[in-house]
Amino acid sequence: MDQDNKLKILFVSAELTPFAKTGGLADVAGSLPKSLVSMGYDVKIAVPRYQKIETKMKYIADFPIEIAARQTTCIVREGEIDFEYNKRDCKVLVYFIDNYHYFNRKDIYSYFDDADRFAFFCRAVLEMLPKINFKPDVIHCNDWHTGPLCMLLNEKYKEYSFYKDIKTLFTIHNLQYQGNFPKNALALFRLTDEIFVPEKVEFYGMFSFMKAGIVYCDIINTVSENYAKEIQTSQYGCKMDGLLKVRSKDLYGIVNGIDYDIFNPDTDRRLYKNYNIETLNNKKNNKYQLQKELQLPKNDVPIIGLVSRFAEQKGLNFIMDKIDEIIKNDLQLVLLGEGDDYYETGFTELAKKYPDKIAVSIGFNAPLAHRIYAASDFFLMPSRFEPCGLGQLISLRYGAIPIVRSTGGLAETVIDVEKDKERGNGFTYKDFTDEEMVKTINRAINYYNIRKEEWNELVKKAMTIDFSWDKSAKKYALLYEKLVEDKRIP
């Protein structure tokens, strides 16, 4: 792509690896822009500057922002994500949107004033653009936190020539989290009742930030082709299926990739011992060391790992309900996660009850997550729904064979090896029931115990399947190109 004709993209996200992460959104924000920059696109990222973000950054600008009747100051700081591509040093610039009142807090979300916080963020991002002298061709918004940006652009900013031609792509990473707030959230944006109608942002009497994104963006996509279809049904549509059907000709699905710089068992510094398909024996060291770290008996039984937000979506209650049946197998279960108290307490109790079989770590711990992927033989994802799922992609890369419920992106990326030997890379089941989950775990353990030679081949195959961003970033690039096509025709 020639330098001057480079498409300019602003990627806007509430989470960003390596700075602030609760789940897959952060991974995508931290890796897709890198791929796009490698392909020649001019991509910059905007993210709130949360308290915990400590990286080198420099002051760029400050300006006032009005939120409802309140005037507050936005400070923009510039940092970067460095990476190497084709032996060249590359970087993606990151604009940290700072406001002491809204973002100098311990966590990323779940505050009483989240509507105010992300209203501020959306406004500040738009206001920032002329100040940093960056006029993107496309603003790529992600999830509900950025929905109002699409709305503000269309309802307020497009009347100014700077913003007139900017297009928007809105990516749904998880339709369940919608950012629905009481009607008076309208006042945050100084917008009138006129937009509080079902055709625009009103959603069952609430102001929906997610709906604002879906309604006002130019193109929508979600993180797998399968989930793009599922969310147009009442089972998975979280009450937005009707709206999504109306916009179906603008709705695309692109499966996520993973960052091969970060997730690479051959170079990952967080592991006890690096390995690749030639040195698979070293994977065992990771198992023994993790057993020691988590005070499990050191032996060769298969480990089933699970690294997840502890949320209802993930189907974790089935594990709790059926734990006795699961551990009838000779195996160890290693769980890492945080979230709902119900699961945190329940799993902690189970680990106390079965210390030889179950280890549970509560909290967000990226290094431990990597060690679990490396030490595990299997990786369990019994999700009720899963827009894409990154856990299964990471586990494949580390040679931990996924056991998943076929839904959303899991159905697209994991194929049952007993149903399709050639393409198979895991164990899958369709019905969201505890019985099916247990049956599939038993089937997988049996395969591990009995089919030793095939097992080794399966692990090697899993580790070599390409789930890097290359293919998917190209698909995003096509969407950006499509958005600006009209503009380019003289």
Rule CB under 6 A: say whether 336 interacts with ligand ADP. yes
Exactly one of 364, 439, 475, 482 binds ligand ADP (CB under 6 A); which one?
364
Which residue number, 81 or 186, has a Cβ lying nearer to ligand ADP? 81
User: To 10 degrees, the CA torsion angle through 203, 209, 214, 217?
Assistant: 140
Binding mask 377-396 for ligand ADP (x = CB under 6 A): -----------xxxx--x--
CB-hemisphere CA count at 13 Å for 374? 33
In DSSP notation, 192-236 reads: -GGG-STTTTEETTEEEHHHHHHHH-SEEEESSHHHHHHTTSTTT
288 or 364: CB nearest ligand ADP: 364
Q: Compare residues 139 and 394 and give the one whose CB is closer to ligand ADP.
A: 394
Interface with ligand ADP in residues 234-293 (CB under 6 A)? none
DSSP 466: -
Residue 4 Cβ, how far from ligand ADP at the closest point, in Å? 37
Inter-residue contact 383 to 311 (CB < 8 Å): no
Q: In what order do the strands lie in the sheet with 180-181?
A: 180-181, 206-208, 202-203
Instruction: For the segment 460-479, give every residue that binds ligand ADP (CB under 6 A).
Output: none
| Closer residue to ligand ADP in complex, CB, 120/385 | 385
Give the residue with the Cβ less far from ligand ADP, 315 or 389: 389
Taking the complex as a whole, the smallest distance from the CB of residue 131 to ligand ADP amounts, in Å, to 32
Rg (CA), the chain: 23
Q: Is 399 helix (H, G, I), strand (E, B) or coil?
A: coil
- Considering only 369, 401, 403, 477, the residue that binds ligand ADP (CB under 6 A) is 369
3-state secondary structure of 266: coil
Separation of alpha carbons 364 and 372, rounded Å: 13
The two structure tokens encoding residue 126: 């738009």
> Which of 366/484 has CB closer to ligand ADP?
366
Nearer to ligand ADP, 301 or 369 (CB): 369
- Measured from the CB atom, the residue of 33 and 136 that comes closer to ligand ADP is 33
Using the minimum distance from each CB to ligand ADP, give the nearer residue, 99 or 407: 407
Q: What does each C-alpha distance from 1 to 8, 38, 41, 307 come to in angstroms?
A: 12, 11, 8, 39
Compute the least distance from the CB of residue 384 to ligand ADP, in Å: 11
Subset of residues 300 to 329 that bind ligand ADP, contact rule: CB under 6 A: 307-309
Q: Which two tokens stand for residue 441?
A: 């775990």
Q: Which of residues 387-446 bind ligand ADP (CB under 6 A)?
A: 388-391, 394
397, 398, 401, 407: CA torsion to nearest 10: -50
Note the maximum CA span of the chain.
71
Contacting range for ligand ADP; rule: CB under 6 A; set: 191-199, 363-371, 412-420, 451-459: 363-371
Q: Number of residues in contact with ligand ADP, rule: CB under 6 A?
A: 18
Give the CA-trace dihedral at 210, 363, 255, 316, to 10 degrees.
-90
Burial of 328 (C-beta count, 10 Å sphere; 0-12/13-18/19+): exposed
Distance CA 470, CA 185 (A): 40
- Closer residue to ligand ADP in complex, CB, 315/424: 315
How far apart are alpha carbons 68 and 102 in whole angstroms? Answer: 14
Q: Taking the complex as a whole, how short is the minimal distance between the CB of residue 377 and ligand ADP, in angstroms? A: 17
3-62: contacts with ligand ADP (CB under 6 A): 23-24, 27
Least CB distance to ligand ADP at residue 24 (A): 3
> Least separation, in Å, of the C-beta of 193 and ligand ADP?
35
CB of 191 vs ligand ADP, minimal distance in Å: 31
Q: Ramachandran region of residue 190, left (φ > 0), alpha (ψ -120 to 50) or beta?
A: left
Binding residues for ligand ADP, per CB under 6 A? 23-24, 27, 307-309, 336-338, 364-366, 369, 388-391, 394
